[in-house]
Structure 1
């Protein structure tokens, strides 16, 4: 059996210290095979916020995989946002672990953030053609016996949560990764957990969203998802603070 912890939207700079301490304690109890963070490590992508996030993630003492969120792109430096939007996130990931391998599970990144968009709200999701192509290739190269999980920040399609992802190209991306053999998509952004199965032309795909460990809660208290994979079957439980 493989055990994964799925958290999202930590928002260092607006983090909930009690929620982070609670998560650390749960990691110490369970010792998951990996922790997956589906974006928004920081609030404003400041270097001090990334440094605080790195210290906290390193202290977990388990493999960590980070998918960038819209808050992790530079807010106050337009030059850096255009030319090196993911520089700090990628350096952080390299310092944590150079790739994460988990038995029985194939994890695939599908970025949904954009340095710029043809709409006013750049916080919403967008799937680029190159990123989708690379995700599809990775899925198709995965051994058939593995549970194939795609990591995004924004939900590819809406999940009846208070906050929306409004991901441009999300439905088409869902169809493409379903055709390539994806079993599930993990995401964040909306700050409320959800778990739904979406029917595609190539079969159903499970969409699982994590809540937040920050002060920016919506309808749900701070929470994360506890995922187990056993013989290809994926079980997800929401763990929320009392």
Structure 2
């Protein structure tokens, strides 16, 4: 059995420190095989926010993989946003888009953030060809008996009924390509509410799994994270909500 804690949208700068302490204590007590954070470590990509996020992530006593979120790109410094948008991750950079090869499970990163778009809302997701190609290559090299999980910040296809949307450019086409390449699920954040949706693509089925938030910016769900349990070729989802 392999257990993965899927957490998202920490938003240091607007973090819920009671929720962060609860999650960290749960990791310490239960020791999952890995933690995957699907983006938005910070609220405004400030250096102090990244420093606080790095300190918290480095204290987790298990392997960690991090996806960048739209809030992690500089808001107030156009030069940094366009020239070196991920520089402020600092020492956490080694965890960013880190593939994980676990017992029976492969974690494959897929970047969905963009420094600029031909759309008015730059917080929406984008799947570019290079990021998708890298993900497909990792899926092709994964153990054929593994459950393959793609980690992204934005949901690739919007879920009706959520208060926020990803509106991910080329997301639907990417979901089809990932499914055909062997992905079993895509985990994401961004919308601050958990969900689990199965999509049929040809003769395959791929799940879209979203995590809630550990920040003050909750929507319909209290602070929460997902526990993913892989055993016997099956992937089970358990929603863990803070009391």
Measure how far apart 1:142 and its partner are: 1.1
Q: Which residue of 1 aligns with 2:145?
A: 145
1:65-214 alignment runs, 5 A limit: 65-89=65-89, 91-94=91-94, 100-160=100-160, 161-214=162-215
Could you tell me the TM-score, scaled by structure 1's length? 0.96
Structure 1 residue 33 corresponds to structure 2 residue 33: yes
Q: CA-to-partner distance for each residue in 1:169-219, whole Å, 9 max, x for gaps?
A: 000000000110000000000000001101113511011000000000001
Contact 1:33 1:63 in 2 (8 A): yes
Contact 1:136 1:177 in 2 (8 A): yes
**Cα distance in 2 between the residues matched to 1:186 and 1:32:** 17
Could you tell me the TM-score, scaled by structure 2's length? 0.95
**Cα distance in 1 between the residues matched to 2:226 and 2:22:** 13
Moved beyond 3 Å, runs of 4+: 95-101
1:49–1:207 distance in 2 versus 1, CA, 3 Å = same
Contact 1:54 1:92 in 2 (8 A): yes
Q: Which residue of 1 aligns with 2:20?
A: 20
CA RMSD of aligned residues (A): 1.6
1:194–1:99 distance in 2 versus 1, CA, 3 Å = closer
Q: Which runs of 5+ in 2 are unaligned?
A: none
Q: Which runs of 5+ in 1 are unaligned?
A: none
